[in-house]
């Protein structure tokens, strides 16, 4: 065991007052500078200014589309099963595309229950759900409006935002060669 001797404070330091005075002057400098130049504070005035979030941000969910605009989702229920918060509710319907049998008639995500764990994205074998919409303010005035429906999840986001960063996997790879692209 090695005992580390702390350096003994000098007389002036142990009197505190001089060092306290130095510290006070430092904070006063900040106050005066910030009163005179309020624009150089490192602050984002949030609702007016918004910071661009980087592409790999984990944000709110979105549903991916095929080329004809129908959802890639085949209502396999894997995401709803794996979800620890039980916030995904899927109602399956019969699809016109014979290769994939089912499609989600309803796809609701209760954002009040969601814990943003991202398990649904990992569970999905079809690359049909992603959590990359760079929105951090999921807020509303009523609880009903925070249950996001299929149409909202499919459409209300900027497609170009992530396209270059992480392009969707081809439908042939995930859904099989017979499915519509």
Partner 1 sequence: MNSALFQFLNITIIAFVVWLIPLQFIPFLIWLERKGSAFIQDRVGPDRTDVLGFRLFGYIQNFADVVKLLMKEDVIPLQANRFYFLLAPFWSMMFSLIPLMSIPLAGSIHWINTTIHFQVVNLNVGLLFFFSITSMGILGIVLAGWASNNKFSLIGGLRSSAQMISYELSMAMSLITLLVVYQHADFQTIVHEQTGLYHFFGYTMCLPNWGFFLQPIAFLIFLVASFAETNRNPFDLPEGESELVAGYHVEYSSIKFALFFMSEYANMVVVSFLNVSLFWGGYEVPYVSTAQLIQSPRIVLLVLSGIIFIMGLLVFVVLFRHGWKQRTLYNGVKKWEPFLLGTGMAFIGLIFLILIPFWLHWNFPAWFPLALTALVQFGCLIIKVVFFCWLFVWVRWTLPRFRYDQLMNLGWKIMLPIAMLNFLVTSIFVILK
Q: Which of 133, 132, 75, 145 is nearest to 107 (CA)?
A: 75
Interface stretch with partner 1, choices 39-47, 56-64, 80-88, 112-120 (CB under 8 A): 39-47
Determine if 38 is a binding residue for partner 1 (CB under 8 A). Answer: yes
Nearer to partner 1, 20 or 91 (CB): 20
126, 73 in Cβ contact below 8 A?
Answer: yes
Cα–Cα distance between 29 and 18 in angstroms, integer? 17
Regarding 137 and contact with partner 1 (CB under 8 A), the answer is no
Nearest alpha carbon to residue 157 among 71, 72, 62, 66: 62
Please say which residue, 27 or 142, places its beta carbon nearer to partner 1: 27
Is residue 42 near partner 1 by the rule CB under 8 A? yes
Q: Using the rule CB under 8 A, which residue among 2, 7, 10, 37 binds partner 1?
A: 37
55, 161 Cβ separation under 8 angstroms:
yes
CA distance 160 to 173: 22
Report the interface residues with partner 1, using CB under 8 A: 17, 20, 23-24, 26-28, 30-31, 34-39, 41-43, 45, 48-49
């Amino acid at each position: 065991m090695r005992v580390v001797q702390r350096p003994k404070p000098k007389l002036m330091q142990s009197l505190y007052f001089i060092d306290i005075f130095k510290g006070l002057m430092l904070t006063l400098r900040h106050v005066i500078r910030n009163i005179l130049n309020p624009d150089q504070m490192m602050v984002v005035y949030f609702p007016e200014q918004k910071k661009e979030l980087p592409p790999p941000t984990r944000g709110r969910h979105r549903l991916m589309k095929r080329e004809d605009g129908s959802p890639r989702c085949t209502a396999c229920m894997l995401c709803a099963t794996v979800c620890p918060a039980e916030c995904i509710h899927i109602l399956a319907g019969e699809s016109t595309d014979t290769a994939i049998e089912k499609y989600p008639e309803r796809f609701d995500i209760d954002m009040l229950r969601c814990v943003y764990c991202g398990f649904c994205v990992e569970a999905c074998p079809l690359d049909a759900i992603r959590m990359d919409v760079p929105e951090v303010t999921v807020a509303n005035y009523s609880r009903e409006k925070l249950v996001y429906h299929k149409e909202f999840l499919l459409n209300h986001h900027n497609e170009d935002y992530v396209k270059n960063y992480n392009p969707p996997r081809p439908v042939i790879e995930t859904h099989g060669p017979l499915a519509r692209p």
